[in-house]
Every structure is written in structure tokens, then in C-alpha cells.
């Protein structure tokens, strides 16, 4: 941030995210950060119809082999970290040995030691295989990240061109009006995910997305609920408690303060800042 964060009396959104990272250590955090266990939370809160179909759950990387995968595209990932994802469009055209070796390494790691985000500390590592969601054109669908303050959606983050050199990130309010700030992540070659000069069409399922995010975010002071909207249907993506681990500035700085003023610490978590 280029300055010392005020964590004794947090004011900005990033200060409050970092305060929560240090102080909110409830068991529900671990459940919701676990990409397998969160499925039960989703089913109980809003229904299993919003879950991406599960193909396989295993602790053994050797289970990742051709005969155990379906004919349709899948995503192979670990449940306890960030970035352990393999997209499989054709099970006959992948290097199983390389994927298994990568998974073996990941299963031995505790993501908490890298991120210091407590919710990852006690997750039991697993490998899960889910159906890969695709559009009618066979492309990865747009994902929408709904930032919720005290159980109410306020911001919607839309990432465009993820995985390319033209990765942009736009910000909208829940009425789908463009917001004049950037909260960008660093990428390769010195680039950042700054907003695009163009807009993204309002998703047809926006109202449902907001309503469901409201229900899922109820126990939390701040949380990000991720969604995929494909072929007219919403699918839950994941729950993130500390966007970019609270390490990336919101610019201009007055927006960090403005957004921080919307978050009341302790209102939902019942944690005290005293």
C-alpha cells in the first residue's frame, strides 16, 4: 500500500479486509474456503442445483487417469489452495504424468504458510474433478465476483480476457452502473488488470445472482461470492474472504475509504474491534 495500515481502528476497505484476516477465525471460514466442503454449505443455503457437477473426489493423484475421467470436458483441481487447476477438454490429449506430479506436490503444501490466511490452515487436502463449464461456442464462461458487505452485495467484479495479455477488470454496482475506480491485480510482464475502455453487457441472471449472494454472505462482514453464468443458468464458483489477500490498493484512494465506510466490522461476524 505504500503506507502502514491502521489495524487498530481500520477505516479503508483494505484495512478492514486485513483486520478480518487477522481476527476472523471461525470454523465456517475453513468450511467455505474448502472447495469440496463448501458444496455442503451451498446445498444447505441455496440448493444443490447451483453446484457444478462433481465427477470425482480423491486423495490419491494416481486416480487421475484416463479411464476414470468422463468423455466430456472437466476441470481437475485441489480443494485447499489457489491456482491448482487443470482444464481438460479432451482426456485423450493430456499429460497425466505431469498433472499427477503437480498434484502430488500441491497436496503436500499448506497454502496458509504462503498467504497467512487462516481459513486455509486446517483444510484436509483433496483432489476434485468437476464438469468444465463452457459456453455454446465452447469457451470458458464469464465469471462474476460479487463483493458483499455485511451480508449485502455492493460491488460486482467482471474479469475479461482472463489468462491472456488483454486481461481487464471492470467494476459495477448492483444496478450495473460502471464504478470509477480500479482494484487491479499484478500480472506477468508488469501488466495489471486495469478496467477496460468498454463495458460488459448486464448478465440476464443479475437479480438472481444478487439474491443468492445475499443468502450466502449472511454470516460475514466482508466476503466475495463468485458465479458462472452460462447458457441461461447460474453456477456457484467459490467463496473468497480476502480479495487479493487485501494487498492491492484501490485507486483513487478515496474509494478505499468510501467502500470501507460501508463495512461494519462485527455486525455479522460478531467479532469485536475493541
Supply 112's cell numbers: 496458509
- 82-138: pLDDT as tens digits: 877 999 999 999 999 999 999 999 999 999 998 899 999 999 999 999 999 998 988
CA neighbor of 126 nearest in space, from 65, 69, 64: 64
- 59-87: pLDDT as tens digits: 999 999 999 999 999 999 999 998 779 99
Rounded-to-integer distance, Cα 119 and Cα 26, Å: 8
Tell me whether strands 74-78 and 233-240 are parallel, antiparallel or unpaired.
unpaired
127-131: strand order across its sheet: 54-58, 127-131, 74-78, 85-88
Rounded-to-integer distance, Cα 160 and Cα 200, Å: 9
Give the pLDDT of residue 141.
Answer: 87
Rounded-to-integer distance, Cα 249 and Cα 2, Å: 9
Handedness of CA 79, 83, 88, 91 (dihedral sign): negative
User: Could you tell me the CA-to-CA distances from 119 to 27, 96, 108 in Å, in that order?
Assistant: 8, 30, 17
pTM of the model: 0.95
Rounded-to-integer distance, Cα 206 and Cα 198, Å: 19
Domain extents for the chain?
1-24+135-274, 52-132
Pick the CATH number of 1-24+135-274 from 3.30.420, 3.30.200, 1.10.8, 3.30.470: 3.30.470
Give the pLDDT of residue 211.
Answer: 98
Give the pLDDT of residue 22.
Answer: 95
Rounded-to-integer distance, Cα 134 and Cα 195, Å: 24
Contacts of 269 (CB under 8 A, 6+ apart): 20, 24, 26, 219, 220, 221
User: Could you tell me the CA-to-CA distances from 79 to 1, 189, 233 in Å, in that order?
Assistant: 30, 29, 24
Give the pLDDT of residue 274.
Answer: 72
* List of the chain residues with pLDDT < 50: none
Rounded-to-integer distance, Cα 198 and Cα 62, Å: 45
Supply 83's cell numbers: 491456482
Amino acid at each position: 500500500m505504500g503506507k502502514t495500515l491502521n489495524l487498530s481502528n481500520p477505516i479503508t476497505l483494505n484495512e478492514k479486509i486485513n483486520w478480518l484476516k487477522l481476527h476472523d477465525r471461525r470454523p465456517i471460514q475453513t468450511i467455505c474456503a474448502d472447495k469440496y466442503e463448501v458444496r455442503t454449505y451451498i446445498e444447505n443455503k441455496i440448493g444443490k442445483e447451483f453446484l457444478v457437477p462433481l465427477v470425482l473426489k480423491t486423495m490419491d493423484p494416481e486416480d487421475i487417469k484416463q479411464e476414470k475421467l468422463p468423455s466430456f470436458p472437466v476441470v481437475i483441481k485441489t480443494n485447499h489452495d489457489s491456482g491448482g487447476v487443470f482444464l481438460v477438454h479432451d482426456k485423450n490429449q493430456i499429460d497425466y504424468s505431469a498433472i499427477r506430479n503437480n498434484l502430488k506436490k500441491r497436496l503436500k503444501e499448506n497454502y496458509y504458510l504462503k498467504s497467512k490466511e487462516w481459513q486455509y490452515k486446517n483444510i484436509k487436502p483433496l483432489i476434485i474433478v468437476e464438469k468444465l463449464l463452457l459456453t455454446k461456442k465452447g469457451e470458458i464462461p464469464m465469471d462474476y465476483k460479487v463483493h458483499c458487505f455485511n451480508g449485502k452485495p455492493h460491488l460486482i467484479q467482471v474479469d475479461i480476457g482472463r489468462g491472456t495479455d488483454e486481461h481487464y477488470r471492470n467494476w459495477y454496482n448492483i444496478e450495473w452502473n460502471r464504478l470509477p475506480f480500479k482494484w487491479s491485480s499484478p500480472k506477468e510482464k508488469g501488466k495489471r488488470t486495469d478496467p477496460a475502455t468498454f463495458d460488459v453487457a448486464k448478465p440476464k441472471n443479475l437479480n438472481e445472482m444478487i439474491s443468492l449472494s445475499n443468502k450466502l454472505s449472511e454470516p460475514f462482514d466482508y466476503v466475495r461470492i463468485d458465479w458462472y453464468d452460462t447458457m441461461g443458468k447460474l453456477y456457484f464458483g467459490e467463496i473468497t474472504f480476502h480479495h487479493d489477500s487485501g494487498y492491492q490498493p484501490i485507486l483513487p484512494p478515496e474509494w478505499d475509504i468510501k467502500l470501507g465506510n460501508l463495512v461494519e466490522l462485527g455486525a455479522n461476524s460478531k467479532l469485536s474491534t475493541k
